[in-house]
Amino acid sequence: MTDNKDILVEFDHFGFKYNAQQKPTLSDISLSVKRGEKVLIAGPSGCGKSTMVHCINGLIPFSYKGEMTGSLKISGKESRDLDLFTISKTVGTVLQDTDAQFVGMTVAEDIAFALENSCVIREEMKERVLRIAGTVNVQDHLHHAPGELSGGQKQRVSVAGVMVDDVEVLLFDEPLANLDPATGREAIELIDKLQEETGAAVIIVEHRLEDVLWRHVDRVVLMNEGRIISNTDADTLLCSKLLSETGIREPLYVQALKYAGVFLAPEKKPSDPALPGLDEKDKEMVRRWFENSGDDSPSGRKHPLLEVRDLCFSYEKRNRRALDGISAAIYEGSMTAIVGTNGAGKSTFSKVICGFETASSGEMIFEGIDLKSLSMKERAEHIGYVMQDPNHMISQTMIYDEVAFGLRNRGVPEDEVQSRVEDALKICGLYRMRNWPVSALSYGQKKRVTIASILVLRPKMLILDEPTAGQDYRHYTDIMEFLVKLRDQGITIVMITHDMHLMIEYADRAIVFSNGRIIADDDPARIITDAGIIKTASLRETSLYLLAKKCGINDGTAFVKRFIACEKEYRR
Partner 1 sequence: MTNLFNYIERPSPIHRLTGATKLVCMLLWSFAAMVTYDTRFLALLSIAGAALFLVGNIRTKDVSFMLGFTIVFLFFNNILIYVFSPMHGTGIYGSCTYLTSWHGRYAPTVEQLFYQLNYILKYSATIPVILLFVCTTNPSEFAASLNRIGISYRISYSVSLALRYIPDVQQQYYEISKASQARGVEMSKKASLLKRLKAASNILIPLILSSMGRIETIANAMELRGFGKHKKRTWYMARKFRISDYASMAVSLLLFITALVLNHINNGRFYNPFLNH
Partner 2 sequence: MKKLSVKTIVAIGIGAALFFVLGRFVAIPSPIPDTNITTQYGLLAFIAAVFGPIAGLFAGLIGHFFIDFSYGWGVWWSWVIASGVFGLLMGIISRKLRVDEGEFSGKDIAFFNLEQFIAHIISWVIVAPVLDILIYSEPVNKVFTQGLVSAVSNSITTGIIGTLLCLAYAKAIPKKGSLKEED
For the stretch 116-125, contacts whose Cβ atoms lie closer than 8 Å and that sit 24 or more positions apart, written own/partner, are: 118/165
Q: Which is nearer to partner 1, 94 or 176 (CB)?
A: 94
Contact between residue 2 and residue 34 where contact means Cβ atoms under 8 Å apart: yes
Number of neighbouring beta carbons within 10 Å of residue 45: 17
In whole angstroms, the minimum distance from the beta carbon of 433 to partner 2 comes to: 6
Question: Is residue 356 within the footprint of partner 1 (CB under 8 A)?
Answer: yes
Question: Is residue 435 within the footprint of partner 2 (CB under 8 A)?
Answer: yes
Q: Which is nearer to partner 2, 369 or 440 (CB)?
A: 440
| Phi and psi, residue 73, nearest 5° | -110, 135
Return all residues near 205 (Cβ < 8 A) that are at least 6 apart.
Answer: 40, 41, 42, 49, 50, 52, 53, 171, 172, 173, 174
Q: Which is nearer to partner 1, 126 or 517 (CB)?
A: 126
Task: Compute the distance between CA of residue 206 and CA of residue 42 in angstroms, rounded to an integer.
Answer: 5
Interface with partner 2: number of residues (CB under 8 A): 11
- DSSP characters over 151-182: HHHHHHHHHHHHHTTT-SEEEEESTTTT--HH
In whole angstroms, the minimum distance from the beta carbon of 93 to partner 1 comes to: 5
Q: Which is nearer to partner 2, 126 or 434 (CB)?
A: 434
For the stretch 73-79, contacts whose Cβ atoms lie closer than 8 Å and that sit 24 or more positions apart, written own/partner, are: 73/7, 73/9, 73/10, 73/12, 74/8, 74/9, 75/8, 75/168, 76/4, 76/5, 76/7, 76/10, 79/55
Residue 433: contacted member of partner 2, partner 1, none (CB under 5 to 8 Å, by partner type): partner 2
**Interacting stretch for partner 2, rule CB under 8 A, among 429-437, 461-469, 492-500, 555-563?**
429-437
Q: Which is nearer to partner 1, 58 or 251 (CB)?
A: 58
- DSSP characters over 479-534: HHHHHHHHHHTT-EEEEE---HHHHHHH-SEEEEEETTEEEEEE-HHHHTT-HHHH
Question: Is residue 439 within the footprint of partner 2 (CB under 8 A)?
Answer: yes
User: Can you say whether residue 539 is alpha, beta or left, with left for phi > 0 and alpha for psi between -120 and 50 degrees?
Assistant: beta
In whole angstroms, the minimum distance from the beta carbon of 458 to partner 2 comes to: 25
Question: Is residue 489 within the footprint of partner 2 (CB under 8 A)?
Answer: no
Q: Which is nearer to partner 1, 34 or 126 (CB)?
A: 126
Task: Compute the distance between CA of residue 163 and CA of residue 114 in angstroms, rounded to an integer.
Answer: 10
Residue 185: contacted member of partner 1, partner 2, none (CB under 5 to 8 Å, by partner type): none
Q: Which is nearer to partner 1, 170 or 260 (CB)?
A: 170
Question: Is residue 299 within the footprint of partner 2 (CB under 8 A)?
Answer: no
Cα torsion 502, 505, 507, 513: sign: positive
Closest CA to 470 of 50, 17, 21: 50
Residue 88: contacted member of partner 1, partner 2, none (CB under 5 to 8 Å, by partner type): partner 1
Residue 11, beta-bridge partner list:
31, 72
Task: Compute the distance between CA of residue 61 and CA of residue 567 in angstroms, rounded to an integer.
Answer: 44
In whole angstroms, the minimum distance from the beta carbon of 85 to partner 2 comes to: 12
The one among 365, 433, 519, 564 contacting partner 2 by CB under 8 A: 433
Question: Is residue 440 within the footprint of partner 2 (CB under 8 A)?
Answer: yes
Q: Which is nearer to partner 2, 160 or 438 (CB)?
A: 438
Q: Among residue numbers 381 through 420, which ones bind partner 2 (CB under 8 A)?
A: 395, 397
Q: Among residue numbers 111 through 170, which ones bind partner 1 (CB under 8 A)?
A: 112-122, 125-126, 129, 145-148, 161-162, 165
Residue 369: contacted member of partner 1, partner 2, none (CB under 5 to 8 Å, by partner type): none
Residue 73, beta-bridge partner list:
10, 78
Question: Is residue 251 within the footprint of partner 1 (CB under 8 A)?
Answer: no
In whole angstroms, the minimum distance from the beta carbon of 117 to partner 1 comes to: 4
The one among 89, 434, 526, 549 contacting partner 2 by CB under 8 A: 434
Question: Is residue 85 within the footprint of partner 2 (CB under 8 A)?
Answer: no
Question: Is residue 436 within the footprint of partner 2 (CB under 8 A)?
Answer: yes
Interface with partner 1: number of residues (CB under 8 A): 66
Closest CA to 232 of 220, 215, 244: 220
| Strand ranges (E), 81-141 | 91-94
**Interacting stretch for partner 2, rule CB under 8 A, among 267-275, 343-351, 419-427, 432-440?**
432-440
Q: Among residue numbers 364 through 423, which ones bind partner 1 (CB under 8 A)?
A: 376-377, 379-380, 385, 387, 389, 391-395, 405-406, 409-410
For the stretch 435-439, contacts whose Cβ atoms lie closer than 8 Å and that sit 24 or more positions apart, written own/partner, are: 435/398, 435/399, 435/400, 436/398, 436/399, 437/397, 437/398, 437/399, 438/394, 438/396, 438/397, 438/398, 438/399, 438/402, 439/397
In whole angstroms, the minimum distance from the beta carbon of 110 to partner 1 comes to: 9
Using CA atoms, how far residue 285 sits from 236, 278, 515, 540, in Å, is: 21, 11, 42, 26
Q: Which is nearer to partner 1, 128 or 475 (CB)?
A: 128
Binding site for partner 2 (CB under 8 A): 395, 397, 432-440
Binding residues for partner 1 (CB under 8 A): 57-59, 63, 84-85, 88-89, 92-93, 95, 97, 99-106, 108-109, 112-122, 125-126, 129, 145-148, 161-162, 165, 351, 354-356, 376-377, 379-380, 385, 387, 389, 391-395, 405-406, 409-410, 453-454, 457
